[in-house]
Amino acid sequence: MLPGTSANRRISCFRPGCGRKRGSPACSPSPPGTGCSLVCRAALPRGQDFRQSRSNLGKRARGPPCSSRRNPRRNTQRGHSIMIRTLAGIGLGLAVATAATVACSAPRKKNLLVVTHTVGFRHSSIPTAEKTLKEIGERSGVYDVGYCRNADDVRTMLTPEGLKKYDAVFFANTTGNLGIPDLKAFLDWIRSGKGFLGAHSASDTYHPGDKGADSSFVEMLGGEFKTHGAQCEVEAIVNDRNHPAVAHLGSTWKVYDEIYDFKENPRPKAHVLLALDRHPNDGHPEANQPGDFPLAWNKRYGKGRVFYTAFGHREDVWENEVYRQHLLGAIRWTLGLARGDDAPNNPVASR
């Protein structure tokens, strides 16, 4: 009880939500079940504690019971405020949950091992190739790269143990017998469901009879380099306009590069993506003669996926944005991230 007051003296109070007028007894929250949201403390008899009055509060409290219903406008505003805060909390919770779901469902980046070791001719474009493949991975967000650059790398990285972290390998202008410790185990790794990509002189690698090599690498790749003439411009015909490696090209693609000729036509055992309909004008006696000259293809190898493109001799080819899209589409298909036909012996396309 406040100094100078009596049991019956009115004490001025005002509480939001309380219907009592100014000058009514001071109020405090009431116990549940009393039917009144506030208890008027000054209305209690002298000497009676608030806690002692809880059992018969309705009888002891003087004046009409406090009601929270006497100011509907204020209560409506309070209700709106509570509702807004509740909805905001729900919205924030949903946003956090959605972000967490997206983060958890985002596919992991793949790992691509770029192999540039050479035993035969070494292309000056290899550093550009390494840089290009790294940049494609960074810009697309599809994969991270590792490098296998020399004989020591080959002995440690192109093994079942060394390949455990990789989803595919890319032979970028490799040549000769690379010295893979167990070539059969390497090919079995691809066959098990991994990916292989090769550019340009990857087809000049592991020729049958080269330091004891058999034909297994060539069979996996789908083609074997035979020769080339002078660099020249060619107009390659797209043989499958729906495949992600060539879908951006239209019907033909003009490229100035060193053009390979292969010992056997890959078409019967591979799905050709790019081909010439005549021999390149490279100084060869058969220049411009009609024929079927595949330059890029893809195929299955067991459960694995294989892609090869004959382009990539020159630095400016690797730097060309159209060629980069060619490689990215091929990498996505090889990693199983994009659909594309791989049925062998597809029809020869015309201009």
Split at pLDDT 50, 70, 90, the class of 340 is very high
pLDDT digits (tens, 9 = 90+) for 109-121: 999 999 999 999 9
User: Is residue 267 included in any domain, yes or no?
Assistant: yes
286: pLDDT strictly greater than 80: yes
Q: What is the pLDDT of residue 235?
A: 98
Helices of type H across the chain: 57-60, 72-105, 126-140, 151-157, 183-191, 216-221, 315-319, 321-334
Do 256 and 286 share a structural domain? yes
In the block, residue with structure tokens 């010992």: 263
Split at pLDDT 50, 70, 90, the class of 242 is very high
Per the structure, the count of domains in the chain is: 3
Do 257 and 271 share a structural domain? yes
User: Is residue 350 included in any domain, yes or no?
Assistant: no
pLDDT digits (tens, 9 = 90+) for 186-228: 999 999 999 999 999 999 999 999 888 899 999 999 999 999 9
Within 10 angstroms of residue 347's Cβ, the number of other Cβ atoms is 9
In this structure, are residues 160 and 194 in contact, taking their beta carbons and an 8 Å threshold? no
User: Is residue 349 included in any domain, yes or no?
Assistant: no
Do 25 and 143 share a structural domain? no
User: Is residue 346 included in any domain, yes or no?
Assistant: no
Q: By C-alpha distance, which of 117, 145, 151, 118 is closest to 133?
A: 145
User: Is residue 45 included in any domain, yes or no?
Assistant: yes
Split at pLDDT 50, 70, 90, the class of 28 is very low
In the block, residue with structure tokens 């309705």: 58
Task: State which H helix or E strand residue 109 sits in.
Answer: none
Encoded tokens for 229:
């003439």
6: pLDDT strictly greater than 70: no
Do 302 and 229 share a structural domain? yes
pLDDT digits (tens, 9 = 90+) for 318-337: 999 999 999 999 999 999 99
Distance CA 241, CA 272 (A): 11
User: Which long-range contacts (C-beta less than 8 Å, at least 24 apart) are formed by 212-218?
Assistant: 212/177, 213/177, 213/183, 216/183, 216/184, 216/187, 217/183, 217/187
Within 10 angstroms of residue 180's Cβ, the number of other Cβ atoms is 20
Q: What is the pLDDT of residue 350?
A: 85
User: Is residue 339 included in any domain, yes or no?
Assistant: no
Structural domain including 80 reads: 74-106
The pair phi, psi for residue 293, each rounded to 5°, is -125, 85
Indicate which CATH number applies to the domain containing 296: 3.40.50.880
**DSSP-based helix, strand, coil % in the chain, nearest 5:** 30, 20, 45
Do 132 and 12 share a structural domain? no
Distance CA 202, CA 223 (A): 10
User: Is residue 154 included in any domain, yes or no?
Assistant: yes
Spatial CB neighbours of 70, under 8 Å, sequence gap ≥ 6:
19
Residue predicted with more confidence, 78 or 340 = 340
Q: What is the pLDDT of residue 86?
A: 58
pLDDT digits (tens, 9 = 90+) for 34-48: 444 444 444 444 444
